[in-house]
A and B are shown apart, each in its own frame.
Chain A
Amino acid sequence: MAEVLVYVDHVDGAVRKPTLELLTLARRLGEPVALALGAGAADTAAALAEHGATRVLTHDAAEYADYLVVPKVDALQAAYEAVSPAAVLVPSSAEGKEIAARLAVRVGSGVITDATDLQAGEQGPVATQSAFAASFTTTTRVSKGTPVITVKPNSAPVESAPAAGTVEALAVSFSEQATGTKVTARTPRASTGRPDLTEAAIVVSGGRGVNGAENFGIIEALADSLGAAVGASRAAVDAGWYPHSNQVGQTGKSVSPQLYIANGISGAIQHRAGMQTSKTIVAVNKDAEAPIFDLVDYGVVGDLFDVVPQLTEEVNTRKG
Protein backbone atom coordinates (compact mmCIF):
# COMPACT_ATOMS: atom_id res chain seq x y z
CA MET A 1 0.00 0.00 0.00
CA ALA A 2 1.23 3.49 -0.81
CA GLU A 3 2.71 5.54 1.99
CA VAL A 4 1.54 9.05 2.83
CA LEU A 5 3.98 11.41 4.53
CA VAL A 6 2.51 13.43 7.40
CA TYR A 7 4.40 16.40 8.83
CA VAL A 8 4.00 16.50 12.61
CA ASP A 9 3.27 19.72 14.48
CA HIS A 10 4.22 19.25 18.12
CA VAL A 11 5.40 21.26 21.11
CA ASP A 12 8.27 19.50 22.92
CA GLY A 13 6.87 16.11 22.00
CA ALA A 14 3.18 16.88 22.61
CA VAL A 15 1.43 16.32 19.27
CA ARG A 16 -1.05 19.06 18.40
CA LYS A 17 -4.57 18.02 17.48
CA PRO A 18 -4.48 19.08 13.78
CA THR A 19 -1.72 16.51 13.20
CA LEU A 20 -3.89 13.72 14.65
CA GLU A 21 -6.65 14.84 12.26
CA LEU A 22 -4.16 14.61 9.38
CA LEU A 23 -3.54 10.96 10.29
CA THR A 24 -7.26 10.26 9.87
CA LEU A 25 -7.16 11.82 6.39
CA ALA A 26 -3.86 10.15 5.50
CA ARG A 27 -5.38 6.71 6.16
CA ARG A 28 -7.93 7.39 3.41
CA LEU A 29 -5.02 7.66 0.98
CA GLY A 30 -2.56 5.05 2.23
CA GLU A 31 -0.32 4.16 5.15
CA PRO A 32 0.68 7.20 7.22
CA VAL A 33 4.39 7.76 7.79
CA ALA A 34 4.95 10.64 10.23
CA LEU A 35 7.87 13.06 10.32
CA ALA A 36 8.63 14.73 13.66
CA LEU A 37 11.44 17.28 13.99
CA GLY A 38 13.19 19.14 16.78
CA ALA A 39 13.27 18.83 20.56
CA GLY A 40 11.06 16.01 21.80
CA ALA A 41 10.54 14.53 18.31
CA ALA A 42 10.90 10.92 19.51
CA ASP A 43 8.35 11.54 22.28
CA THR A 44 5.63 11.98 19.66
CA ALA A 45 5.79 8.31 18.62
CA ALA A 46 3.25 6.86 21.05
CA ALA A 47 0.51 9.36 20.15
CA LEU A 48 1.25 9.03 16.42
CA ALA A 49 1.20 5.20 16.58
CA GLU A 50 -2.09 5.28 18.51
CA HIS A 51 -3.60 7.31 15.63
CA GLY A 52 -2.33 5.23 12.74
CA ALA A 53 1.30 6.06 11.95
CA THR A 54 3.04 2.91 10.72
CA ARG A 55 6.45 4.57 10.91
CA VAL A 56 7.69 7.67 12.71
CA LEU A 57 10.74 9.39 11.24
CA THR A 58 12.52 11.69 13.67
CA HIS A 59 15.41 14.14 13.61
CA ASP A 60 16.60 16.74 16.07
CA ALA A 61 19.15 19.49 15.48
CA ALA A 62 19.69 22.99 16.82
CA GLU A 63 18.95 24.38 13.34
CA TYR A 64 15.19 23.79 13.73
CA ALA A 65 14.97 26.28 16.58
CA ASP A 66 17.76 28.64 15.55
CA TYR A 67 16.77 29.35 11.93
CA LEU A 68 13.48 30.04 10.19
CA VAL A 69 11.56 27.44 8.14
CA VAL A 70 14.25 26.22 5.69
CA PRO A 71 15.84 23.55 7.94
CA LYS A 72 12.39 21.99 8.23
CA VAL A 73 11.98 22.08 4.45
CA ASP A 74 15.34 20.31 4.09
CA ALA A 75 14.20 17.59 6.51
CA LEU A 76 10.82 17.17 4.82
CA GLN A 77 12.62 16.83 1.50
CA ALA A 78 14.95 14.18 3.00
CA ALA A 79 11.90 12.28 4.28
CA TYR A 80 10.19 12.68 0.92
CA GLU A 81 13.17 11.15 -0.85
CA ALA A 82 13.42 8.33 1.70
CA VAL A 83 9.72 7.43 1.56
CA SER A 84 8.64 8.27 -2.03
CA PRO A 85 5.12 8.95 -0.74
CA ALA A 86 1.88 9.06 -2.70
CA ALA A 87 1.07 12.39 -1.01
CA VAL A 88 2.46 14.78 1.60
CA LEU A 89 0.13 16.28 4.21
CA VAL A 90 1.06 19.26 6.39
CA PRO A 91 -1.02 21.16 8.98
CA SER A 92 -2.24 24.51 7.62
CA SER A 93 -0.45 26.78 10.07
CA ALA A 94 1.34 29.82 8.64
CA GLU A 95 4.65 27.96 8.94
CA GLY A 96 3.18 24.66 7.73
CA LYS A 97 2.00 26.29 4.51
CA GLU A 98 5.42 27.83 3.88
CA ILE A 99 7.17 24.49 4.46
CA ALA A 100 4.73 22.64 2.20
CA ALA A 101 4.94 25.16 -0.63
CA ARG A 102 8.74 25.20 -0.66
CA LEU A 103 8.84 21.40 -0.71
CA ALA A 104 6.39 21.33 -3.62
CA VAL A 105 8.55 23.62 -5.73
CA ARG A 106 11.69 21.64 -4.88
CA VAL A 107 10.20 18.33 -5.96
CA GLY A 108 8.32 19.75 -8.96
CA SER A 109 4.84 19.31 -7.55
CA GLY A 110 1.73 21.39 -7.16
CA VAL A 111 0.54 22.52 -3.76
CA ILE A 112 -2.94 22.91 -2.30
CA THR A 113 -3.35 25.00 0.84
CA ASP A 114 -6.09 25.16 3.49
CA ALA A 115 -7.96 22.02 2.45
CA THR A 116 -11.05 21.41 4.58
CA ASP A 117 -11.51 17.80 3.49
CA LEU A 118 -9.64 15.15 1.56
CA GLN A 119 -10.79 12.05 -0.30
CA ALA A 120 -9.03 9.44 -2.41
CA GLY A 121 -9.87 9.95 -6.09
CA GLU A 122 -9.08 8.10 -9.31
CA GLN A 123 -6.49 10.72 -10.24
CA GLY A 124 -5.12 11.16 -6.74
CA PRO A 125 -6.34 12.95 -3.62
CA VAL A 126 -9.24 15.36 -4.08
CA ALA A 127 -9.15 18.34 -1.73
CA THR A 128 -12.09 20.50 -0.69
CA GLN A 129 -11.33 24.20 -0.20
CA SER A 130 -13.34 27.28 0.66
CA ALA A 131 -13.12 30.33 -1.59
CA PHE A 132 -14.25 33.96 -1.46
CA ALA A 133 -14.81 34.22 2.27
CA ALA A 134 -16.22 30.69 2.34
CA SER A 135 -19.07 31.63 -0.01
CA PHE A 136 -17.87 28.94 -2.46
CA THR A 137 -16.64 25.39 -2.02
CA THR A 138 -14.16 24.04 -4.57
CA THR A 139 -12.66 20.63 -5.21
CA THR A 140 -9.08 20.67 -6.38
CA ARG A 141 -6.40 18.17 -7.38
CA VAL A 142 -2.66 18.38 -7.83
CA SER A 143 -2.03 17.58 -11.48
CA LYS A 144 1.77 17.58 -11.61
CA GLY A 145 4.08 15.66 -9.28
CA THR A 146 3.26 14.26 -5.85
CA PRO A 147 0.35 16.06 -4.19
CA VAL A 148 1.48 18.34 -1.34
CA ILE A 149 -1.56 19.45 0.64
CA THR A 150 -1.99 21.52 3.77
CA VAL A 151 -5.13 20.87 5.80
CA LYS A 152 -6.95 23.24 8.14
CA PRO A 153 -7.64 22.31 11.76
CA ASN A 154 -11.04 20.71 12.50
CA SER A 155 -11.22 19.17 9.01
CA ALA A 156 -11.44 15.56 10.17
CA PRO A 157 -12.21 13.63 13.35
CA VAL A 158 -9.39 12.38 15.54
CA GLU A 159 -9.68 8.58 15.46
CA SER A 160 -7.81 5.90 17.31
CA ALA A 161 -6.29 3.38 14.85
CA PRO A 162 -3.33 1.68 16.51
CA ALA A 163 -0.38 0.95 14.21
CA ALA A 164 3.25 -0.03 14.65
CA GLY A 165 4.67 3.48 14.85
CA THR A 166 8.20 2.19 14.50
CA VAL A 167 10.64 5.00 15.29
CA GLU A 168 13.40 5.53 12.73
CA ALA A 169 16.10 8.18 12.76
CA LEU A 170 16.06 10.25 9.57
CA ALA A 171 19.35 11.43 8.06
CA VAL A 172 19.18 15.12 7.15
CA SER A 173 21.84 17.29 5.56
CA PHE A 174 21.02 20.98 5.63
CA SER A 175 21.13 23.15 2.52
CA GLU A 176 23.14 26.35 2.20
CA GLN A 177 19.90 28.32 2.64
CA ALA A 178 19.09 26.60 5.95
CA THR A 179 20.97 29.14 8.05
CA GLY A 180 19.83 32.17 6.04
CA THR A 181 17.35 33.59 8.53
CA LYS A 182 18.45 33.56 12.14
CA VAL A 183 16.03 33.52 15.06
CA THR A 184 17.76 35.85 17.53
CA ALA A 185 15.12 35.78 20.28
CA ARG A 186 11.96 33.87 21.07
CA THR A 187 9.21 34.82 23.53
CA PRO A 188 6.74 31.98 24.06
CA ARG A 189 3.13 33.05 24.17
CA ALA A 190 1.86 33.21 27.74
CA SER A 191 -0.65 30.41 28.24
CA THR A 192 -4.16 31.56 29.06
CA GLY A 193 -5.20 28.06 30.10
CA ARG A 194 -7.87 28.20 27.39
CA PRO A 195 -7.96 25.96 24.31
CA ASP A 196 -6.01 27.01 21.24
CA LEU A 197 -8.17 29.24 19.04
CA THR A 198 -7.80 27.25 15.81
CA GLU A 199 -8.31 23.88 17.53
CA ALA A 200 -11.15 24.76 19.91
CA ALA A 201 -14.54 23.07 19.61
CA ILE A 202 -16.22 26.27 20.82
CA VAL A 203 -15.09 29.85 20.13
CA VAL A 204 -16.56 32.90 21.89
CA SER A 205 -15.66 36.18 20.14
CA GLY A 206 -16.02 39.84 20.91
CA GLY A 207 -16.07 42.79 18.55
CA ARG A 208 -16.60 46.52 18.40
CA GLY A 209 -19.68 46.23 20.62
CA VAL A 210 -17.54 45.05 23.55
CA ASN A 211 -16.42 48.66 23.67
CA GLY A 212 -13.15 48.48 25.61
CA ALA A 213 -10.39 46.12 26.73
CA GLU A 214 -11.77 46.17 30.27
CA ASN A 215 -15.06 44.67 29.06
CA PHE A 216 -13.46 41.62 27.45
CA GLY A 217 -13.72 40.00 30.88
CA ILE A 218 -17.36 39.17 30.23
CA ILE A 219 -16.43 37.49 26.93
CA GLU A 220 -13.73 35.50 28.73
CA ALA A 221 -16.15 34.51 31.49
CA LEU A 222 -18.58 33.10 28.93
CA ALA A 223 -15.73 31.29 27.18
CA ASP A 224 -14.59 29.77 30.46
CA SER A 225 -18.09 28.58 31.32
CA LEU A 226 -18.17 26.68 28.01
CA GLY A 227 -14.51 25.57 27.96
CA ALA A 228 -14.09 27.72 24.83
CA ALA A 229 -11.35 29.74 23.19
CA VAL A 230 -11.65 33.53 22.97
CA GLY A 231 -11.61 35.29 19.61
CA ALA A 232 -11.78 38.94 18.61
CA SER A 233 -12.79 40.81 15.49
CA ARG A 234 -10.30 43.02 13.67
CA ALA A 235 -12.07 46.12 15.00
CA ALA A 236 -11.47 44.96 18.58
CA VAL A 237 -7.85 44.07 17.85
CA ASP A 238 -7.12 47.31 15.99
CA ALA A 239 -8.57 49.23 18.93
CA GLY A 240 -6.04 47.46 21.16
CA TRP A 241 -8.67 45.67 23.26
CA TYR A 242 -7.42 42.14 22.59
CA PRO A 243 -4.19 40.61 21.19
CA HIS A 244 -3.75 40.09 17.47
CA SER A 245 -3.03 36.41 18.12
CA ASN A 246 -6.76 36.03 18.90
CA GLN A 247 -8.02 37.78 15.77
CA VAL A 248 -10.57 35.81 13.77
CA GLY A 249 -10.91 36.76 10.12
CA GLN A 250 -9.23 37.13 6.80
CA THR A 251 -6.02 38.60 8.22
CA GLY A 252 -6.17 36.70 11.48
CA LYS A 253 -7.05 33.11 12.24
CA SER A 254 -9.54 31.07 10.35
CA VAL A 255 -11.66 28.96 12.70
CA SER A 256 -14.15 26.20 12.06
CA PRO A 257 -15.46 25.12 15.48
CA GLN A 258 -18.61 23.18 16.36
CA LEU A 259 -20.01 26.37 17.91
CA TYR A 260 -19.13 30.01 17.25
CA ILE A 261 -20.63 32.75 19.43
CA ALA A 262 -20.17 36.28 18.02
CA ASN A 263 -20.79 39.08 20.52
CA GLY A 264 -20.99 42.69 19.37
CA ILE A 265 -19.65 41.72 15.93
CA SER A 266 -21.42 43.15 12.88
CA GLY A 267 -20.14 40.47 10.51
CA ALA A 268 -18.13 42.31 7.87
CA ILE A 269 -16.96 40.14 4.97
CA GLN A 270 -13.42 40.01 6.41
CA HIS A 271 -14.71 38.51 9.65
CA ARG A 272 -17.07 36.11 7.88
CA ALA A 273 -14.08 34.82 5.91
CA GLY A 274 -12.62 33.52 9.14
CA MET A 275 -15.66 31.89 10.76
CA GLN A 276 -18.33 31.14 8.17
CA THR A 277 -17.53 27.42 8.10
CA SER A 278 -18.33 27.04 11.81
CA LYS A 279 -20.95 24.30 12.30
CA THR A 280 -23.34 26.25 14.53
CA ILE A 281 -23.27 30.05 14.63
CA VAL A 282 -24.79 32.20 17.34
CA ALA A 283 -24.74 35.99 17.57
CA VAL A 284 -25.62 38.63 20.12
CA ASN A 285 -25.87 42.16 18.72
CA LYS A 286 -27.86 45.31 19.45
CA ASP A 287 -28.29 46.04 15.74
CA ALA A 288 -31.02 43.85 14.26
CA GLU A 289 -29.72 44.78 10.77
CA ALA A 290 -26.17 43.49 11.40
CA PRO A 291 -25.10 41.16 8.55
CA ILE A 292 -23.98 38.53 11.09
CA PHE A 293 -27.66 37.67 11.61
CA ASP A 294 -27.79 36.36 8.01
CA LEU A 295 -25.45 33.55 9.09
CA VAL A 296 -26.80 32.53 12.45
CA ASP A 297 -28.60 29.45 13.64
CA TYR A 298 -29.67 31.47 16.66
CA GLY A 299 -29.42 35.20 17.19
CA VAL A 300 -30.30 37.50 20.04
CA VAL A 301 -30.99 41.12 19.23
CA GLY A 302 -30.00 42.81 22.44
CA ASP A 303 -27.32 44.43 24.54
CA LEU A 304 -24.45 42.03 25.03
CA PHE A 305 -23.83 43.51 28.48
CA ASP A 306 -27.23 42.12 29.51
CA VAL A 307 -27.35 38.94 27.45
CA VAL A 308 -23.81 37.56 27.84
CA PRO A 309 -23.58 37.63 31.66
CA GLN A 310 -27.06 36.09 31.89
CA LEU A 311 -26.00 33.34 29.48
CA THR A 312 -22.78 32.73 31.43
CA GLU A 313 -24.70 32.44 34.68
CA GLU A 314 -27.20 30.07 33.11
CA VAL A 315 -24.43 27.87 31.66
CA ASN A 316 -22.69 27.72 35.04
CA THR A 317 -25.97 26.88 36.78
CA ARG A 318 -26.80 24.12 34.33
CA LYS A 319 -23.33 22.64 34.70
CA GLY A 320 -24.09 22.71 38.42
Chain B
Amino acid sequence: MSLRIVVTVKYVPDATGDRHFAEDLTVDRDDVDGLLSELDEYAVEQALQIADEADDAEITVLTVGPEDAKDALRKALSMGADKAVHVEDDDLHGTDIVGTSLVLAKAIEKAGFDLVVCGMASTDGTAGVVPALLAERLGVPQVTLLSEVSVEDGVVKGRRDGDTASEQVEASLPAVVSVTDQSGEARYPSFKGIMAAKKKPVESWDLSDLGLEADEVGLAGAWTVVDAAAERPARSAGTIVKDEGEGGKQLAEFLAGQKFI
Protein backbone atom coordinates (compact mmCIF):
# COMPACT_ATOMS: atom_id res chain seq x y z
CA MET B 1 0.00 0.00 0.00
CA SER B 2 1.27 3.37 -0.90
CA LEU B 3 2.72 5.61 1.81
CA ARG B 4 1.04 9.00 1.43
CA ILE B 5 3.40 11.78 2.51
CA VAL B 6 2.32 15.43 2.69
CA VAL B 7 5.07 18.03 3.04
CA THR B 8 3.98 21.48 4.19
CA VAL B 9 6.08 24.30 2.78
CA LYS B 10 6.03 28.07 3.11
CA TYR B 11 6.82 30.79 0.63
CA VAL B 12 8.72 33.44 2.61
CA PRO B 13 10.35 36.80 1.93
CA ASP B 14 14.08 36.46 1.33
CA ALA B 15 15.84 37.13 4.65
CA THR B 16 18.70 38.87 2.89
CA GLY B 17 16.26 41.41 1.46
CA ASP B 18 14.92 44.50 3.23
CA ARG B 19 11.90 42.93 4.94
CA HIS B 20 9.21 45.11 6.45
CA PHE B 21 5.52 45.36 7.27
CA ALA B 22 2.71 46.61 5.04
CA GLU B 23 0.26 49.29 6.20
CA ASP B 24 -2.12 46.71 7.68
CA LEU B 25 0.85 45.33 9.70
CA THR B 26 0.98 42.08 7.76
CA VAL B 27 4.25 41.02 6.15
CA ASP B 28 4.89 43.11 3.05
CA ARG B 29 5.34 40.59 0.26
CA ASP B 30 5.57 43.03 -2.62
CA ASP B 31 8.92 44.65 -1.97
CA VAL B 32 11.06 41.59 -1.29
CA ASP B 33 11.51 38.49 -3.43
CA GLY B 34 9.99 35.33 -2.04
CA LEU B 35 11.34 31.80 -1.99
CA LEU B 36 10.81 28.36 -0.50
CA SER B 37 11.68 28.65 3.20
CA GLU B 38 15.14 27.14 3.64
CA LEU B 39 13.99 25.13 6.64
CA ASP B 40 11.27 23.51 4.53
CA GLU B 41 13.90 22.27 2.06
CA TYR B 42 15.04 19.95 4.85
CA ALA B 43 11.48 18.64 5.15
CA VAL B 44 11.30 17.95 1.40
CA GLU B 45 14.68 16.21 1.58
CA GLN B 46 13.66 13.91 4.45
CA ALA B 47 10.36 13.12 2.72
CA LEU B 48 12.28 12.14 -0.42
CA GLN B 49 14.59 9.89 1.60
CA ILE B 50 11.66 8.27 3.43
CA ALA B 51 9.92 7.71 0.08
CA ASP B 52 13.10 6.14 -1.34
CA GLU B 53 13.13 3.61 1.49
CA ALA B 54 9.42 2.79 1.14
CA ASP B 55 8.15 0.20 -1.34
CA ASP B 56 5.69 2.65 -2.74
CA ALA B 57 5.24 6.26 -1.71
CA GLU B 58 3.73 9.44 -3.05
CA ILE B 59 4.80 12.91 -1.92
CA THR B 60 2.36 15.80 -2.08
CA VAL B 61 3.77 19.21 -1.34
CA LEU B 62 1.29 21.67 0.17
CA THR B 63 1.38 25.42 0.64
CA VAL B 64 -1.03 28.14 1.72
CA GLY B 65 -0.22 31.51 0.24
CA PRO B 66 -0.62 34.05 -2.54
CA GLU B 67 -0.19 33.41 -6.27
CA ASP B 68 3.62 33.66 -6.07
CA ALA B 69 3.72 30.84 -3.52
CA LYS B 70 3.59 28.49 -6.54
CA ASP B 71 7.34 29.19 -6.81
CA ALA B 72 7.87 27.34 -3.51
CA LEU B 73 5.84 24.38 -4.82
CA ARG B 74 7.82 24.30 -8.10
CA LYS B 75 11.10 24.19 -6.17
CA ALA B 76 9.86 21.25 -4.08
CA LEU B 77 8.56 19.47 -7.21
CA SER B 78 11.90 19.99 -8.94
CA MET B 79 13.62 18.40 -5.93
CA GLY B 80 11.46 15.33 -6.53
CA ALA B 81 8.02 15.66 -4.91
CA ASP B 82 5.27 14.06 -7.03
CA LYS B 83 2.45 16.60 -6.95
CA ALA B 84 1.42 19.84 -5.33
CA VAL B 85 -1.55 21.53 -3.72
CA HIS B 86 -1.81 25.31 -3.52
CA VAL B 87 -4.39 26.74 -1.14
CA GLU B 88 -5.07 30.24 -2.38
CA ASP B 89 -7.88 32.60 -1.47
CA ASP B 90 -8.00 36.40 -1.12
CA ASP B 91 -9.68 35.94 2.25
CA LEU B 92 -6.54 34.25 3.62
CA HIS B 93 -4.60 37.52 3.72
CA GLY B 94 -3.38 38.16 7.29
CA THR B 95 -4.13 34.68 8.66
CA ASP B 96 -2.24 34.07 11.93
CA ILE B 97 -0.65 30.91 13.34
CA VAL B 98 -3.84 29.40 14.72
CA GLY B 99 -5.67 30.12 11.46
CA THR B 100 -2.83 28.78 9.33
CA SER B 101 -2.85 25.51 11.25
CA LEU B 102 -6.61 25.27 10.67
CA VAL B 103 -6.29 25.75 6.90
CA LEU B 104 -3.34 23.36 6.62
CA ALA B 105 -5.11 20.68 8.69
CA LYS B 106 -8.20 20.84 6.48
CA ALA B 107 -6.07 20.62 3.35
CA ILE B 108 -4.02 17.70 4.71
CA GLU B 109 -7.22 15.82 5.55
CA LYS B 110 -8.59 16.47 2.09
CA ALA B 111 -5.35 15.35 0.42
CA GLY B 112 -5.19 12.19 2.54
CA PHE B 113 -2.04 11.29 4.49
CA ASP B 114 -0.07 8.71 6.41
CA LEU B 115 2.77 11.05 7.24
CA VAL B 116 3.04 14.84 7.36
CA VAL B 117 6.57 16.27 7.19
CA CYS B 118 7.22 19.90 8.16
CA GLY B 119 10.26 22.11 8.62
CA MET B 120 11.08 23.06 12.22
CA ALA B 121 9.88 26.65 11.74
CA SER B 122 9.35 29.19 9.00
CA THR B 123 12.23 31.54 8.38
CA ASP B 124 9.94 34.59 8.59
CA GLY B 125 7.62 34.03 11.55
CA THR B 126 10.02 31.56 13.27
CA ALA B 127 7.47 30.48 15.90
CA GLY B 128 7.94 26.77 15.20
CA VAL B 129 4.54 25.67 16.52
CA VAL B 130 2.61 24.79 13.36
CA PRO B 131 3.76 21.12 13.34
CA ALA B 132 2.53 20.61 16.93
CA LEU B 133 -0.74 22.37 16.05
CA LEU B 134 -1.25 20.11 13.02
CA ALA B 135 -0.81 17.05 15.26
CA GLU B 136 -3.31 18.53 17.71
CA ARG B 137 -5.88 19.27 15.01
CA LEU B 138 -5.40 16.01 13.10
CA GLY B 139 -5.48 13.96 16.33
CA VAL B 140 -2.27 12.10 15.47
CA PRO B 141 1.11 11.83 17.24
CA GLN B 142 3.55 14.73 16.99
CA VAL B 143 7.12 13.61 16.38
CA THR B 144 8.75 17.00 16.15
CA LEU B 145 12.16 18.68 15.97
CA LEU B 146 13.93 15.59 14.71
CA SER B 147 17.53 15.70 13.62
CA GLU B 148 17.26 12.10 12.38
CA VAL B 149 14.14 10.42 11.04
CA SER B 150 13.19 7.06 9.55
CA VAL B 151 9.99 5.15 8.78
CA GLU B 152 9.71 1.38 8.90
CA ASP B 153 6.72 -0.96 9.16
CA GLY B 154 4.30 1.87 9.86
CA VAL B 155 6.40 3.35 12.67
CA VAL B 156 8.26 6.67 12.51
CA LYS B 157 11.38 6.94 14.65
CA GLY B 158 13.72 9.83 15.26
CA ARG B 159 16.06 11.74 17.48
CA ARG B 160 14.92 14.92 19.21
CA ASP B 161 17.72 17.07 20.61
CA GLY B 162 16.31 19.18 23.42
CA ASP B 163 17.77 21.72 25.84
CA THR B 164 18.62 19.24 28.54
CA ALA B 165 18.62 15.85 26.79
CA SER B 166 18.68 14.06 23.48
CA GLU B 167 15.71 11.71 23.10
CA GLN B 168 14.88 8.79 20.84
CA VAL B 169 11.19 8.98 20.04
CA GLU B 170 8.76 6.87 18.03
CA ALA B 171 5.11 6.78 17.01
CA SER B 172 2.80 4.76 14.81
CA LEU B 173 1.56 6.29 11.58
CA PRO B 174 -0.34 8.41 10.81
CA ALA B 175 1.82 11.10 12.41
CA VAL B 176 3.18 14.63 12.01
CA VAL B 177 6.95 15.01 11.87
CA SER B 178 9.10 18.13 11.85
CA VAL B 179 12.79 18.09 11.01
CA THR B 180 15.62 20.44 11.94
CA ASP B 181 18.46 21.83 9.86
CA GLN B 182 20.61 19.06 11.36
CA SER B 183 18.62 16.36 9.54
CA GLY B 184 20.76 16.41 6.42
CA GLU B 185 21.63 18.82 3.65
CA ALA B 186 18.83 19.29 1.11
CA ARG B 187 19.58 18.27 -2.47
CA TYR B 188 19.77 20.74 -5.34
CA PRO B 189 17.22 20.23 -8.08
CA SER B 190 18.81 18.65 -11.15
CA PHE B 191 18.15 20.00 -14.65
CA LYS B 192 16.07 16.88 -15.26
CA GLY B 193 14.16 17.55 -12.04
CA ILE B 194 13.46 21.13 -13.05
CA MET B 195 12.16 20.03 -16.48
CA ALA B 196 10.05 17.24 -14.96
CA ALA B 197 8.54 19.63 -12.38
CA LYS B 198 6.93 21.66 -15.17
CA LYS B 199 4.75 18.66 -16.04
CA LYS B 200 3.76 17.72 -12.50
CA PRO B 201 0.21 18.52 -11.37
CA VAL B 202 -0.47 21.55 -9.15
CA GLU B 203 -4.01 21.64 -7.78
CA SER B 204 -5.52 24.90 -6.52
CA TRP B 205 -7.98 24.85 -3.64
CA ASP B 206 -9.84 27.76 -2.09
CA LEU B 207 -11.62 28.11 1.25
CA SER B 208 -14.86 26.60 -0.06
CA ASP B 209 -12.94 23.49 -1.19
CA LEU B 210 -11.86 23.09 2.44
CA GLY B 211 -15.27 23.79 3.96
CA LEU B 212 -14.00 26.94 5.66
CA GLU B 213 -15.72 30.31 5.97
CA ALA B 214 -13.92 33.60 5.34
CA ASP B 215 -14.43 34.76 8.94
CA GLU B 216 -12.51 31.74 10.30
CA VAL B 217 -9.28 33.00 8.72
CA GLY B 218 -7.62 36.17 7.47
CA LEU B 219 -6.87 39.35 9.32
CA ALA B 220 -10.42 39.79 10.59
CA GLY B 221 -10.67 36.22 11.83
CA ALA B 222 -7.23 36.14 13.45
CA TRP B 223 -6.82 35.14 17.10
CA THR B 224 -4.09 37.75 17.57
CA VAL B 225 -3.79 41.43 16.62
CA VAL B 226 -0.61 43.31 15.85
CA ASP B 227 -1.13 46.83 17.22
CA ALA B 228 2.17 48.34 16.17
CA ALA B 229 5.36 47.53 14.32
CA ALA B 230 8.37 49.81 14.60
CA GLU B 231 11.73 49.51 12.98
CA ARG B 232 14.34 48.96 15.65
CA PRO B 233 16.38 52.13 15.98
CA ALA B 234 19.79 51.71 14.39
CA ARG B 235 22.45 51.15 17.01
CA SER B 236 24.50 54.26 17.55
CA ALA B 237 27.88 53.77 15.97
CA GLY B 238 30.15 51.86 18.30
CA THR B 239 33.84 52.34 18.93
CA ILE B 240 35.98 50.34 16.55
CA VAL B 241 39.70 49.99 17.10
CA LYS B 242 42.37 48.29 15.05
CA ASP B 243 44.52 45.83 16.96
CA GLU B 244 48.08 47.03 17.03
CA GLY B 245 49.17 44.71 19.77
CA GLU B 246 46.98 46.06 22.56
CA GLY B 247 43.51 45.17 21.18
CA GLY B 248 42.74 42.65 23.92
CA LYS B 249 43.76 45.08 26.66
CA GLN B 250 41.72 47.89 25.11
CA LEU B 251 38.71 45.59 24.95
CA ALA B 252 39.23 44.65 28.60
CA GLU B 253 39.29 48.36 29.46
CA PHE B 254 35.94 48.82 27.66
CA LEU B 255 34.41 45.83 29.47
CA ALA B 256 35.68 47.12 32.82
CA GLY B 257 34.16 50.52 32.07
CA GLN B 258 30.81 48.79 31.44
CA LYS B 259 31.19 46.89 34.75
CA PHE B 260 31.42 43.47 33.08
CA ILE B 261 34.75 42.79 34.78
A interface residues, Cβ below 8 angstroms from B: 11, 68-70, 73, 93-95, 97-98, 100-102, 104-106, 109-114, 126, 130-145, 177, 180-189, 196, 198, 202, 226, 244-245, 250-251, 258-259, 269-270, 273, 276, 280-282, 284, 288, 293-303, 306-315, 318-319
Contact = CB atoms under 8 A, between A and B. Distances in A.
A181 to B, nearest CB: 4
Nearest to B163: A93
Given A135-B19, A138-B230, A143-B224, 11 more contacts: A93-B163, A180-B142, A187-B167, A189-B165, A202-B260, A269-B16, A284-B247, A293-B240, A300-B241, A308-B248, A313-B248
Interface string B150-180: 0000000100111111111111100100001
Contact of A68 (B160, B172, B229, B252): B160
13 contacts: A135-B231, A177-B135, A180-B172, A182-B169, A186-B168, A259-B260, A294-B235, A296-B238, A296-B240, A298-B251, A299-B238, A300-B242, A314-B252
B229 A137 contact: yes
Given A98-B142, A102-B132, A298-B239, A280 B223 contact: no
Interface string B15-41: 110011100010000000000000100
B228 A111 contact: no
B243 interface: yes
B8 interface: no
A132 B196 CA distance: 34
B248 A314 contact: yes
Contacts of A181: 141-143, 169-171, 175
B184 to A, nearest CB: 12
Contacts of B242: 288, 300-302
Interface stretch (B57-65, B108-116, B121-129): B121-129
A189 B167 CA distance: 10
B155 to A, nearest CB: 10
Contacts, number: 263
Contacts of A189: 163-166
Interface string B35-63: 00001000000000000000000000000
Given A181-B171, A226-B261, A110 B223 contact: yes
Given A138-B226, A189-B166, A301-B240, A113 B127 contact: yes
Contact of A314 (B168, B170, B249): B249
B118 to A, nearest CB: 12
B240 to A, nearest CB: 4
A97 B243 CA distance: 43
A298 B238 contact: yes
Interface stretch (B94-102, B186-194, B203-211): B94-102
B231 A98 contact: no
A181 B169 CA distance: 7
Interface residues of B, number: 82
A314 B253 CA distance: 9
B120 interface: yes
B227 A318 contact: no
Contacts of A202: 260
Please classify the interface of chain A as helix (H, G, I), strand (E, B), loop, or mixed, using the class held by over half of its residues: mixed
Nearest to A191: B164
B3 interface: no
B165 to A, nearest CB: 5
B232 interface: yes
Contacts of A311: 248-249, 251-252
Nearest to B231: A136
Nearest to B243: A302
A111 B98 contact: yes
B72 interface: no
Nearest to A127: B224
A314 B169 CA distance: 47
B78 interface: no
Contacts of B175: 180-181
A97 B241 contact: no
Contact of A299 (B19, B139, B241): B241
A251 B167 contact: no
A105 B133 CA distance: 7
B38 to A, nearest CB: 8
Contact of B126 (A73, A112, A250): A250
Contacts of A307: 243, 247-248, 251
A226 B238 contact: no
B181 interface: yes
B214 interface: no
Nearest to B160: A68
A226 B243 contact: no
A97 B169 contact: no
- The residue among B129, B143, B168 with the most chain A CB atoms within 10 A of its own CB is B129
